[in-house]
Amino acid sequence: MARTEYLSKATHAQTRAHNAALVLRALYDLGPISRADVARLTGLTRTSVGELVADLERDGLAQDVGRGPSTGGKQPTLVALKDDARTVITLDLGERTFTAALANLRGELTTKRTGELEGRDGHQAVQLVHELIDDVRREATSPLLGIGVGTPGVVDADGTIRWAVNLDWQDLPLARILEERHGLPAVVANDSRAAALATYLFGGDERPQNLVVIKVGRGVGAGIILRDQLFGGDGDGAGEIGHVVVDPDGIECHCGRFGCLETVASVPAVVRAAGTASFGELVDRTTAGDDRVLPVVLAAGRAIGAAIAGLTGALDVRHITIVGSATALGDPWFSAIRDEAGRRSLGPLARDTRIIDGGTGEDVTLLGACALLLTRELGLTVHR
């Protein structure tokens, strides 16, 4: 085959895949919708749209769902995505427990299973991942699209976990291991980045183009969406704010340095500094306005607020959502965050920045892992 012919074939295939993804995305975001509107919104011809929708219907991903209002001629047929047409296996690798679930194309979760990590070494932890996948997979009622995984730690774009605290994992190519063992596409990403994508994809009708989601729980991390894409940076470490040193005279962090944001603002750090028996007790005493714990809670909030000011100053992103167990600290904590972010930012930026309580989000990592896989695989290859 001549080079030009080869290139032209490759380009044609890429164009078709790109167009198919455009149509699918239009159905996903805007369906039920007429083919004419899909053509208008995507800039594709009506013939192309007709063919691509026919492909999706043949694959069982889309279906006609009745007629829409007439705009002069006859009423157009509306087409919509079938939300239950595919199943995603989604996993949240927490620091104490692993959870697996099944999700449909809208991130609706079913068949949740949890396994305790206690006493397992790194190898046994990988075995637990396999067991959970095998366990939920049996319950799938539609073709599997793949496996999405959210994990704490630093993860490469190819799904290699560079470093995960508490899991004894270093340079573990988890995505490849899962693809080989389970015969499905797999994507693995940091849990904060997964949370950002969940907020973006499943967060409701208003979908900001730029968004920062900060997850504050056992760790502290951010996920950054820029122009509708998860931003990774040069080494897929974008958003690793938890290990930026905020107090050079502070206490030692598990990463080996002193005074990282996590040593001041993570849930274990705040509980330790406040001297309460549990996080629940800290929340109760904070809510009651107890002067013995409030200064610690407010200092933690201010540290998060300072980190936000750094992010908004660099990126000019005005939608900030905070998720994770720490959000249970409520108004005093959020006020400290907002005040400090505002105090440290340029006036107009501070005025327009919205810092939203995204809730404790028990399922946010599961949803995020699902969103990761959906956004990568929305070419929607079928694996049975």
Give the residues lining the site for Zn ion (CB under 5 A). 243, 253, 255, 260
CA separation for the pair 39, 49 (Å, rounded): 6
Q: Which is nearer to Zn ion, 13 or 251 (CB)?
A: 251
Closest CA to 153 of 254, 226, 61: 254
Structure tokens at 266: 């993570």
Q: Which is nearer to Zn ion, 184 or 269 (CB)?
A: 269
Structure tokens at 212: 């920062």
Q: Which is nearer to Zn ion, 263 or 286 (CB)?
A: 263
Q: Which is nearer to Zn ion, 148 or 152 (CB)?
A: 152
H or E stretch including 33? strand 33-34
Q: Which is nearer to Zn ion, 213 or 253 (CB)?
A: 253
Number of Cβ within 10 Å of residue 18's Cβ equals 10
> For strand 87-93 and strand 144-151, is the pairing parallel, antiparallel, or unpaired?
parallel
Q: Which is nearer to Zn ion, 66 or 235 (CB)?
A: 235
Shortest distance, position 168 Cβ to Zn ion, whole Å: 17
- The position carrying tokens 């919104």 is 41
For the chain, how big is the Rg over CA atoms in Å? 23
CA separation for the pair 154, 157 (Å, rounded): 10
Shortest distance, position 255 Cβ to Zn ion, whole Å: 3
Q: Which is nearer to Zn ion, 44 or 246 (CB)?
A: 246
Shortest distance, position 243 Cβ to Zn ion, whole Å: 4
CA separation for the pair 93, 365 (Å, rounded): 9
Shortest distance, position 257 Cβ to Zn ion, whole Å: 5
Shortest distance, position 154 Cβ to Zn ion, whole Å: 12
Shortest distance, position 259 Cβ to Zn ion, whole Å: 8
CA separation for the pair 138, 184 (Å, rounded): 14
Shortest distance, position 331 Cβ to Zn ion, whole Å: 28
Structure tokens at 234: 């040069």
Number of Cβ within 10 Å of residue 375's Cβ equals 17
- The position carrying tokens 């998060």 is 304
Shortest distance, position 325 Cβ to Zn ion, whole Å: 19
Q: Which is nearer to Zn ion, 32 or 219 (CB)?
A: 219
Q: Which residues of 109-136 are buried (b: 16+ CB within 10 A; e: fewer)?
A: bebebebebeebeeeebbebbeebbeeb
